[in-house]
């Protein structure tokens, strides 16, 4: 059998043994407490304070029921007493405190054989306690989510967002402030759910407004039919004589409406108004007046070669769907 060296055995050249660089170089944040220094001087505390029996926090009934719903499993833990809650938060942060001290030691002096495993174990233990606190308090998320369910936001979305927030709140809670975790968590959940509901309501309102605007433009602000655009282009030369006599804005309105500005189809009143800085209704009024003036001008075009064009132009302007 080929013997292999321990990964944490000191190297012969005096260098550092190989280790998980990400684990050692990532700072570990925790909520400090004066009692940690006292515990650290008592080696027995390292064993007694970090050994948490998570099964003692389960409800007595329905835990092993295979028919239990996901929601019922989320709230299967009983409510913690104040001493239990304090013990869990102190234990979690003490494990992080020990892990940060050990991490700093490893960084400064490479660490002794086995210290990297000890660091990983402390971080794991802190996460185990953190997850237990999360599970015990998920009932807070469910309770608050039920109060904010509406047609704007669904229950599952609130629970999902609330669980993520609860995990972050656990890392920030300081038991030395003297109030229960539920007070701190409920306030954070309410603020987040109000914000979510407000955002969703605004988003829905924006979508409805946009849909109504689109429907209005389609129903009440149609462009000229394609066949009329084709006929207009066939008599473009004749029409130009009339357009030259119009004021600049009037000429621009007709040009965009008739599709003479390079677009495949004439523009709607809404789009013309946006280009000119006018309301849709104002463009409609101006266009109606211009068409009436064009009809009057067409009656004076008596040249024989224009007779067919005049009839076509009258038919086209008369058949505009918005007049």
DSSP string covering 33-98, please? Answer: -THHHHHHH-HHHHHHTT---GGGGB-SSSTT-TT--HHHHHT-BPPPPHHHHHHHHHHHHHHHHH
> Is residue 203 over pLDDT 50?
yes
Q: Which of 122-126, 155-159, 184-188, 227-231 has the lowest mean pLDDT?
A: 227-231
Question: Which one has a higher pLDDT value, 150 or 82?
Answer: 82
| Cα(117)–Cα(20) distance, integer angstroms | 10
Each residue of 68-112: pLDDT tens digit? 555 656 666 788 899 999 999 999 999 999 999 999 888 877 666
Over residues 106-121, the mean pLDDT reads 78
For CATH 1.20.120, list the domain ranges present in the chain: 21-205
Does the global pTM surpass 0.75?
no
CATH architecture assigned to 226-318: Orthogonal Bundle (1.10)
Indicate the helix (H) or strand (E) that contains 103: helix 82-109
> Is residue 7 over pLDDT 60?
no
Q: Which of 97, 86, 90, 91 is nearest to 182 (CA)?
A: 86
| Cα(257)–Cα(273) distance, integer angstroms | 11
Cβ–Cβ < 8 Å for 273, 283: yes
Over residues 50-62, the mean pLDDT reads 55
* Mean pLDDT estimate for the chain: 75
Residue 46's pLDDT is what?
54
Q: Which two tokens stand for residue 147?
A: 């109060």
Terminal alpha carbon distance of the chain? 97
CA dihedral 231, 232, 234, 238 (to 10 degrees): 140
Strands (E), 260-317: none
| Cα(308)–Cα(238) distance, integer angstroms | 11
Q: Which of 278, 1, 212, 154 is nearest to 268 (CA)?
A: 278
CATH architecture assigned to 21-205: Up-down Bundle (1.20)
- What are the residues whose beta carbons fall under 8 Å from the beta carbon of 268, sequence distance 6 or more? 217, 221, 222, 223, 280
Q: Which of 89-103, 152-166, 191-205, 258-272 has the lowest mean pLDDT?
A: 258-272
| Cα(15)–Cα(110) distance, integer angstroms | 8
Cβ–Cβ < 8 Å for 94, 71: no
Please state the length of the chain.
323
> Is residue 15 over pLDDT 90?
no
Residue 90's pLDDT is what?
94
> Is residue 31 over pLDDT 90?
yes
> Is residue 67 over pLDDT 50?
no
Return contacts of 277-281, CB within 8 angstroms, 24+ apart: 280/221
How would you class 253 by CB atoms within 10 Å of its CB: exposed for 0-12, middle for 13-18, buried for 19 or more?
A: buried
Q: Which two tokens stand for residue 118?
A: 């000890």
């Amino acid at each position: 059998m080929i013997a292999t060296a321990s990964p944490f055995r000191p190297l012969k050249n005096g260098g550092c043994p190989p280790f998980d660089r990400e684990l050692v170089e990532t700072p570990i944040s925790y909520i400090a407490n004066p009692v940690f220094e006292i515990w650290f001087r008592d080696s027995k505390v390292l064993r007694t304070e970090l050994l948490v029996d998570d099964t003692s926090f389960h409800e007595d009934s329905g835990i092993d029921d295979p028919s239990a719903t996901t929601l019922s499993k989320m709230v299967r833990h009983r409510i913690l007493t104040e001493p239990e809650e304090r013990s869990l938060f102190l234990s979690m942060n003490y494990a992080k405190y020990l892990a940060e001290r050990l991490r700093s030691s490893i960084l400064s002096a490479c660490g002794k054989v086995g210290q990297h495993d000890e660091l990983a174990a402390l971080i794991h233990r802190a996460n185990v306690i953190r997850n237990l606190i999360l599970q015990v308090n998920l009932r807070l998320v469910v309770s608050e989510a039920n109060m904010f369910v509406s047609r704007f936001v669904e229950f599952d979305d609130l629970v999902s967002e609330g669980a993520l927030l609860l995990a972050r709140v656990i890392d920030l809670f300081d038991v030395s402030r003297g109030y229960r975790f539920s007070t701190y968590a409920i306030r954070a959940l309410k603020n987040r759910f109000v914000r979510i509901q407000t955002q969703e309501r605004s988003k829905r309102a924006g979508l409805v407004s946009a849909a109504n605007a689109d429907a209005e433009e389609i129903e009440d602000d149609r462009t000229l039919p394609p066949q009329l655009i084709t006929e207009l282009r066939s008599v473009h030369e004749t029409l130009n004589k009339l357009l030259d006599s119009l004021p600049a804005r009037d000429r621009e309105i007709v040009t965009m409406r008739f599709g003479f500005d390079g677009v495949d189809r004439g523009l709607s009143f809404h789009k013309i108004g946006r280009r000119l800085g006018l309301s849709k209704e104002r463009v409609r009024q101006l266009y109606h007046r211009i068409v009436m003036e064009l009809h009057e001008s067409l009656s004076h075009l008596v040249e024989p070669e224009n007779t067919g064009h005049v009839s076509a132009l009258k038919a086209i302007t008369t058949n505009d769907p918005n007049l």
